[in-house]
Amino acid sequence: MFNFIYGGIDFAHKLDAASNPTEQYFKHVHAFNEVIYFVEGDVEYTVESDTRRLVSGDVVVVAPGQYHFATVNSNVQYERYVLKFPSELIPSFLSERIKTLGPFLRGSENLLSFTVYDTYYGNYSDDELKALYLAELVKFLVTLSKEPQATPHQTNTTIAKIIRYIDEHIRQPITLEGISEEFHFSKSYISNEFKRYMKISVMQYVRLKKIIAAHQLILTGEKKSYVAAQFGFDNYSTFYRQYLKLLEDGSLSASKGRRKK
């Protein structure tokens, strides 16, 4: 097992159980890419409106801004490789391909492709490790995206429609009342169904997605006050507090610039 956090990437080989998790499984959304190679366990994984019970060899691809979480169903050990990285560290054509891939794939590469990460760790300097890990990542993503093999999963069509509506109106004011009117469901039904499936309220989800999208614009050099207004935040101080919270908890950056052992 290892956890390498350095120079914009956070790569890890993790092992834990439901009774003693080492990461927050719920309410997870961030501004960088995440690729998970599932080794073993009894786990259901949800990415936006799609859910799959994972089997050994599954690959989960989470694009920036996609809400996701794992549900660990028993005390069977949960083992996986987790690779977190910003889009700018991989070729632009791969960044675009990742956006078109479904969240659940079968990797044509096997576990040996990931155990090489373990053999590298501890034997090279931080800069050398970063270069080696990124080279392995690019090789894997090229192979994975060349002929992607999607795996069967369940889709909550109601949640999918709501998410699509939110994404399409992300720069406009979004309210529970507006979603209710759009889909002709009661506010209570939408609230309950969304919270049951997504483990987060509709409006919490909206705020998270807006801040992640705003962050992408801030990275281009736009002023935070201008960006807050573009995404419908009437109160700048409220936006800034929420933005800082995501910045501090690591949701906007895959790396704090140091290695954890």
Contacts of 138 (CB under 8 A, 6+ apart): 90, 91, 94
Judging by DSSP bridges, how do beta strands 2-6 and 9-16 pair with one another?
A: antiparallel
> Looking at the structure, do residues 58 and 182 belong to the same domain, yes or no?
no
Contacts of 132 (CB under 8 A, 6+ apart): 120, 124
Q: What pLDDT, on the 0 to 100 scale, is given for residue 261?
A: 38
> Looking at the structure, do residues 27 and 127 belong to the same domain, yes or no?
yes
Which residue(s) pair with 10 in the sheet?
Answer: 5, 84
Q: Give the model confidence (pLDDT) of 168-181 as tens digits.
A: 999 999 999 999 99
CATH number at residue 43: 2.60.120.280
Q: In the listed set 119, 150, 181, which residue is the last one of a domain according to the structure? A: 150
DSSP, residue by residue, 61-127: EE-TT--EEEEE-SSS-EEEEEEEE-GGGS-HHHHHHHHHS-SEEE-SS-THHHHHHHHHTTSS-HH
Share the mean pLDDT of the chain: 90
Tell me the angle at which helices 202-218 and 176-183 cross, rounded to the nearest 10 degrees: 110
Global pTM value: 0.90
> Looking at the structure, do residues 178 and 144 belong to the same domain, yes or no?
no
> Looking at the structure, do residues 118 and 160 belong to the same domain, yes or no?
no
Q: Is residue 257 part of a domain?
A: no
Which residue(s) pair with 163 in the sheet?
Answer: none
> Looking at the structure, do residues 93 and 185 belong to the same domain, yes or no?
no
Q: Which domain holds residue 134?
A: 2-150
> Looking at the structure, do residues 125 and 205 belong to the same domain, yes or no?
no
How many domains, in total, are found in the chain?
Answer: 2
Which residue(s) pair with 235 in the sheet?
Answer: none
> Looking at the structure, do residues 202 and 170 belong to the same domain, yes or no?
yes
Q: In the listed set 150, 185, 203, which residue is the last one of a domain according to the structure? A: 150
Q: Using alpha carbons, select from 1, 261, 257 the residue that is nearest to residue 130.
A: 257
Q: Using alpha carbons, select from 65, 100, 82 the residue that is nearest to residue 11.
A: 82
Q: Give the model confidence (pLDDT) of 35-48 as tens digits.
A: 999 999 999 999 99
> Which is more confidently placed, 24 or 28?
28
Which residue(s) pair with 260 in the sheet?
Answer: 3
- Judged against a pLDDT cut of 70, whether residue 219 lies above it is answered with yes
Q: Give the model confidence (pLDDT) of 98-133 as tens digits.
A: 889 999 998 766 677 899 999 999 999 999 999 999
Q: In the listed set 126, 150, 174, which residue is the last one of a domain according to the structure? A: 150
Q: What confidence category does residue 247 fall into, taking pLDDT thresholds of 50, 70 and 90?
A: confident
> Looking at the structure, do residues 15 and 142 belong to the same domain, yes or no?
yes
Q: Is residue 103 part of a domain?
A: yes
> Looking at the structure, do residues 237 and 118 belong to the same domain, yes or no?
no
> Looking at the structure, do residues 114 and 22 belong to the same domain, yes or no?
yes
Distance of alpha carbon 135 from alpha carbon 221, whole angstroms: 29
